[in-house]
Each structure stands twice: as structure tokens, then as C-alpha cells.
């Protein structure tokens, strides 16, 4: 019986401590509270641990370092209130409602991934919070903008990503640097299917001969047969509409099998710093989704990100995520208060100076983003995009080192 009692008291203490923590958190009324919801557990947690949470941490750290947000009535420190949605939409909805009605936060950051942002869009609209989505790729932007006056999109549509990758190959083909035979594989899941379906007609139109076209299920461990068969078709270029685990697996097999195509593209996760860390010089000249222009501001951002959060930022979403936080900061300080409707209006009527350049989101869609990057000397340089003017030239892949 004693043991039980001990357990009982232990549990009671934990619960009491948790409430204490909560009361302590709400102490200082001048602090501006920002809500953050995202997956800390569940299938999307690894991605969020790179692109979602660290950026907010870095942002809050930097704002507080410089004394806080500058509003009309003086400087205000910021505080993040974070919740785990366990990669389940109802949990995301509940956590956002909790932020809005229980914690009564002054602002809510976007949630992580397409479906989740769309699931909470009505709640943000109900409470007037601007929803500046990130990691939200959809072909229905225009309908959604019509539905929600407070929603903003920072990334392009699925089609624009497929189009950009194929444009790069077309240019190489037209310049007679590669032939017209292309091997295409895709992961049979969400984004992989969408990209493959969007890509097929674009390849045909660009005059490519698809010599190999195959999908593999998500979570396939052994990708050797896929790469072997692609190699047997003797292609000039290899395109994989892939996801994080298979992006790594395909590169591994391509290296082992010696798939020496002159242009090698894999989609999601090629832009992860881990990709270069794993393959080193063999990753040189691999093409992938994302990319970022190499500038001193960006280099400083990567350094600060690593120092403040302990993890490396990626070369696709991360710098843009940070840019949109800069846009939010400038809007709040421009308005001079936490008037949410005024902040939304400010976003819709101004342009912003950010680490990726001058950004314009006036019609609720960002005017520029990068679509294709290439590993060049250990940096994932942007070689194509929309709205920017200055891209690095594409290099041919010589071998896997």
C-alpha cells in the first residue's frame, strides 16, 4: 500500500508542478506572446525539427537580444508558447484554439505542412490572426485566397517545382550538353505522385524520351532494383520525385551502381545539410528541390541558426521561413501595436527587406522563391526560381567521386 501511496503523491506533485509552471509563465503582462504549434512527435516530426521549430527559437532569441519588439508604447520582450500536435489535424485545431482562447496569445505562427495549415485556416480567420503559411504547397492557392482574407502563401505550386526541374534539363538538352533520354522514378506517396503526374506531360512537351518510368512505395528499403533498371535503360538524365528516406537511398545506390548520368535530380531532402554531410564530394552537382543564393546575409543566417539552436538550417524552407518572420516583425513594428487586422493589412500593402532579398506578398502570394538547387562546393546553390534574377549556372555531374 505504501508504494501505491508514493506513486499517488508523485503523480499529484507532478500535476501541481505543471500548474505552477503555467502560472509562472503568464506572469509578465508586457511580454508579447507568440503561439507555435507543430509536430514534435509523429511522422512529420523529423522535418519540423529542422525547418519549423528552430527558426522560431532563433527569431525569439534575436528579438529579445536586441531588447524586444518596438511598439508605440515601448519595447516588449517576446515569448514563445509551443504545443505538440503529434501530426494529427484534430490536435492541431485544438492546440490553436487553446492558444487563441486560453493562452490568449498576441500572434500565432503558421503550423507545419499543407494539410495542417488548411485545417486551421478557418480558426485563424475567426480570430483574425494572419496565417503566413510555410511548408504549404498547393495548386489551389487562388481559391484559398478568395476564401480567407488573412492567408498568405510563401511557396510555389506543385506544378512550378516540376516545371522548373524539367526546364533545367531542357536547357542542358538544347545546349547539346545532354541527350534526350531521361529516367524518371517517384515515391508512391503524396508529393511524389503529384510531381510525377505534373511532370509527365511537361517532359513530353520538352521533347524528352522517358526511357524508364517507375514508382516505388514509401518506405522501400532496397532501392537497388530501381536504380539498376534505370541504369539499364541508359538514360542521359535521372529524375527522382522522392521523399527524405528514399532521396538518401537512391543517391547511395546510384553511387554503388555507378549511375553516371550527367544530370541527377532528387526532390525533397536533397536540400538538407545532412545530404552533403553524408555523401561529401560525391554529392557535388546533384540537383534537387529548393536551393538558396549564396550571399553574406545567408551565410550569417546559417551561422546564427547553428549557434542559437544547435541544428543546421536547410537550404530550402529554412531561410524563407526566417524571411517571413522578418516580414511579420516589420509589420508588427510598422503598425506599432498587436492590432491583428492592421498587421494583416500591413502585410498586404508593403514590401519587405529580408535575408533573401526584397519580398512582396501584397496579393497574398510571395512574388519570388527558388525551385531548383545544386550542390556546388558544399553549398546548395539556387540554379532556378521564380521572380529572382540571379541564379548560379548549372554544372554537369561528372561522377560519384
- 3-state SS, 195-246, equals HHHHHHHHHHHCCCEEEEEEEECCCCCCCHHHHHHHHHCCCCEEEEECCHHH
Site string for another protein, 134-153 (x = CB under 8 A): ----xxx--x---x------
Least CB distance from residue 215 to another protein, whole Å? 6
Least CB distance from residue 302 to another protein, whole Å? 25
Helix 317-335 with 296-309: angle, nearest 10 deg: 90
CA 391 to CA 381: how far, in whole Å? 8
Nearer to another protein, 26 or 300 (CB): 26
Give yes or no for residue 312 binding another protein (CB under 8 A). Answer: no
CA 132 to CA 386: how far, in whole Å? 19
Contacting residues for 9 by C-beta, under 8 A, at least 6 apart: none
Least CB distance from residue 41 to another protein, whole Å? 5
Contacting residues for 155 by C-beta, under 8 A, at least 6 apart: 133, 134, 135, 136, 137, 317, 320, 366, 369
Give yes or no for residue 79 binding another protein (CB under 8 A). Answer: no
Cell of 383: 540554379
Least CB distance from residue 49 to another protein, whole Å? 12
Q: Indicate which single residue of 57, 86, 368, 395 sits in contact with another protein (rule: CB under 8 A).
A: 86
Q: Indicate which single residue of 63, 119, 135, 223 sits in contact with another protein (rule: CB under 8 A).
A: 119
Q: Indicate which single residue of 58, 69, 108, 118 sits in contact with another protein (rule: CB under 8 A).
A: 118
Nearer to another protein, 18 or 377 (CB): 18
Nearer to another protein, 198 or 292 (CB): 198
Q: Residue 350, Cα to own-chain centre: how many angstroms?
A: 24
Beta bridge partners of 209: 181
CA 148 to CA 260: how far, in whole Å? 48
Give yes or no for residue 83 binding another protein (CB under 8 A). Answer: yes
Residue 202 has a CB neighbour count (10 Å cut-off) of 17
Give yes or no for residue 77 binding another protein (CB under 8 A). Answer: no
Nearer to another protein, 77 or 86 (CB): 86
Strands (E) across 144-190 are located at 151-153, 181-187
Least CB distance from residue 102 to another protein, whole Å? 5
- 3-state SS class at 275: helix
Site string for another protein, 2-41 (x = CB under 8 A): --x--x---x---x--xx-xx-----------------xx
Q: Indicate which single residue of 62, 97, 167, 294 sits in contact with another protein (rule: CB under 8 A).
A: 97
* Contact stretch for another protein (CB under 8 A) within 76-84, 314-322, 336-344, 356-364: 76-84
CA 140 to CA 309: how far, in whole Å? 34
> Based on the number of CB atoms within 10 Å of its own CB, is 140 exposed (0-12), middle (13-18) or buried (19 or more)?
exposed
End-to-end CA distance of the chain: 67
Nearer to another protein, 61 or 127 (CB): 127
Q: Indicate which single residue of 115, 179, 245, 334 sits in contact with another protein (rule: CB under 8 A).
A: 115
Give yes or no for residue 84 binding another protein (CB under 8 A). Answer: yes
Least CB distance from residue 192 to another protein, whole Å? 8
* Contact stretch for another protein (CB under 8 A) within 132-140, 163-171, 305-313, 315-323: 132-140
CA 89 to CA 97: how far, in whole Å? 12
Task: Report whether 188 contacts 234 (CB < 8 A).
Answer: no
Q: Indicate which single residue of 6, 67, 126, 351 sits in contact with another protein (rule: CB under 8 A).
A: 126
Task: Report whether 178 contacts 172 (CB < 8 A).
Answer: yes
Contacting residues for 57 by C-beta, under 8 A, at least 6 apart: 80, 308, 309
Residues between 191 and 230 with contacts to another protein, criterion CB under 8 A: 191, 193-194, 196-197, 215, 217
Residues between 241 and 260 with contacts to another protein, criterion CB under 8 A: none
Q: Which residues bind another protein (CB under 8 A)?
A: 4, 7, 11, 15, 18-19, 21-22, 40-43, 82-84, 86, 88-91, 93-95, 97-98, 100-102, 114-115, 118-119, 121-123, 126-127, 138-140, 143, 147, 158, 188-191, 193-194, 196-197, 215, 217
Amino acid at each position: 500500500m505504501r508504494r501505491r501511496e508514493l506513486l499517488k503523491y508523485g503523480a499529484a506533485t507532478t500535476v501541481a508542478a505543471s500548474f505552477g509552471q503555467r502560472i509562472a509563465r503568464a506572469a509578465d503582462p508586457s511580454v508579447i506572446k507568440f503561439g507555435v504549434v507543430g509536430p514534435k512527435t509523429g511522422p512529420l516530426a523529423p522535418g519540423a525539427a529542422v525547418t519549423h521549430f528552430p527558426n522560431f527559437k532563433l527569431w525569439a532569441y534575436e528579438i529579445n537580444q536586441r531588447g524586444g519588439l518596438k511598439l508605440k508604447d515601448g519595447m516588449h520582450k517576446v515569448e514563445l508558447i509551443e504545443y505538440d500536435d503529434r501530426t494529427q489535424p484534430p490536435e492541431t485545431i485544438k492546440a490553436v484554439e487553446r492558444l487563441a482562447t486560453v493562452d490568449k496569445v498576441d500572434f500565432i505562427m503558421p503550423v507545419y505542412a499543407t494539410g495542417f495549415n488548411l485545417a486551421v485556416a478557418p480558426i485563424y480567420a475567426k480570430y483574425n490572426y494572419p496565417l503566413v503559411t510555410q511548408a504549404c504547397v498547393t495548386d489551389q492557392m487562388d481559391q484559398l485566397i478568395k476564401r480567407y482574407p488573412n492567408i498568405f502563401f510563401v511557396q510555389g505550386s506543385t506544378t512550378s517545382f516540376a516545371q522548373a526541374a524539367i526546364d533545367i534539363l531542357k536547357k542542358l538538352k538544347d545546349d547539346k550538353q545532354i541527350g534526350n533520354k531521361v529516367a524518371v522514378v517517384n515515391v508512391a506517396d503524396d508529393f511524389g505522385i503529384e510531381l510525377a503526374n505534373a511532370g509527365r506531360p511537361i517532359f513530353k512537351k520538352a521533347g524528352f524520351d522517358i526511357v524508364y518510368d517507375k514508382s516505388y512505395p514509401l518506405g522501400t528499403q532496397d532501392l537497388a532494383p530501381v536504380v539498376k533498371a534505370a541504369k539499364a535503360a541508359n538514360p542521359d538524365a535521372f529524375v527522382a520525385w522522392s521523399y527524405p528516406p528514399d532521396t538518401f537511398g537512391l543517391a547511395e545506390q546510384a553511387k554503388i551502381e555507378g549511375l553516371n548520368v550527367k544530370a541527377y535530380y532528387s526532390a525533397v531532402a536533397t536540400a538538407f545539410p545532412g545530404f552533403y554531410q553524408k555523401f561529401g564530394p560525391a554529392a557535388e552537382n546533384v540537383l534537387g528541390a529548393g536551393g538558396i543564393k549564396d550571399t553574406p546575409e545567408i551565410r550569417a543566417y546559417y551561422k546564427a541558426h547553428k549557434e542559437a539552436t544547435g541544428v543546421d538550417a536547410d537550404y530550402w524552407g529554412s531561410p524563407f521561413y526566417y524571411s517571413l518572420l522578418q516580414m511579420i516583425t516589420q509589420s508588427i513594428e510598422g503598425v506599432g501595436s498587436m492590432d491583428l487586422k492592421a498587421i494583416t493589412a500591413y502585410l498586404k500593402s508593403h514590401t519587405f527587406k529580408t535575408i533573401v532579398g526584397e519580398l512582396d506578398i501584397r496579393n497574398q502570394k510571395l512574388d519570388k522563391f527558388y525551385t531548383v538547387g545544386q550542390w556546388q562546393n558544399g553549398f546548395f546553390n539556387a540554379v532556378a526560381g521564380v521572380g529572382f534574377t540571379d541564379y548560379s549556372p548549372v554544372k554537369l555531374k561528372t561522377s560519384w567521386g
